[in-house]
Chains A and B, each alone.
Chain A
């Protein structure tokens, strides 16, 4: 499968614990996005990478959240000191970049449950 992959698919954690999610984009896609989706809502943008550079962060991304894309390939999203309000689906998308229209392709998501 050459699509966007995310791991783990599900994560259950206790409040106060740290969690890390991984996203592997489509090969040669130099743009990578993270979104968050809570129940009954559409996905909301969190952050964006062009290669290894993080170029935009949403105000939704509090200080407890950090994202990296160290070699411009896979990306990680870490949440420190999780809270129950962090329970959501975390979605990763990638796009080729550098074209007039730049279609984003999404992974299956990581569902986080904070107890």
Chain B
């Protein structure tokens, strides 16, 4: 699975969009980009995943560049409860299982 690179930390004002970047230049053709977040002292929470098309759900949007070497997670209207560590993970698709390899993630702080 691809190694991912994320900024160590980011800040965002409450109510504004939070845009979290992730580089995955070695991603392979059948490898999905997954995003999880972890609020302090809780288990990781699944946010969204995608292969090559942009994806949107009730939590966030995922924008994947055409060459698939990077992606951006967008939280459209960040709230204080979105303060968390955000992990970008590459995971090969298919019916075989996939163990998630977490990096250091991005600490997102949403401030009033």
B44 at the interface (CB under 8 A from A): yes
Q: Which residues of B approach A to under 8 Å, CB–CB?
A: 32, 34, 36, 41-46, 49, 85, 87, 91, 93-95, 97-105
Closest chain A residue, CB of each to CB of B34? A103
In the assembled complex, the Cα of A108 lies from the Cα of B44 at a distance in Å of 8
Chain B proximity mask over A36-77: 1 for CB below 8 Å, otherwise 0: 000001111100101000011000000000000000000000
With both chains docked as a complex, state the minimum distance between the C-beta of B24 and any C-beta of chain A, in angstroms.
15
Tell me if B's interface is mostly helix, strand, loop or mixed: loop
6 contacts between A and B (CB under 8 A): A31-B97, A33-B99, A48-B99, A97-B95, A103-B34, A105-B46
Closest Cβ of chain A: how far from B31's Cβ, in Å?
11
Q: Are B42 and A43 in touch, CB under 8 angstroms?
A: no
CB distance A43 to B46 under 8 Å?
no
Instruction: Give B102's nearest chain A residue, CB to CB.
Output: A42
Q: How far is the CB of A49 from chain B (nearest CB, A)?
A: 9
A102 touches B97 (CB 8 A): yes
Tell me the bound Cα distance from A50 to B32 in angstroms.
21
- A99 within 8 A of partner (CB): yes
19 additional contacts (CB under 8 A) given A109-B41, A109-B43: A44-B102, A45-B100, A45-B101, A48-B97, A89-B41, A93-B100, A97-B97, A99-B95, A100-B94, A102-B97, A102-B98, A103-B46, A103-B49, A104-B98, A104-B100, A106-B44, A106-B46, A107-B43, A108-B42
CA distance A101 to B92 in the complex (A): 8
Cα-based distance from A55 to B32 in the complex (angstroms): 22
Across-interface contacts of A106 in B (CB, < 8 A) = 36, 43-46
How far, in whole Å, are A12 and B87 apart by their CA atoms in the complex?
29
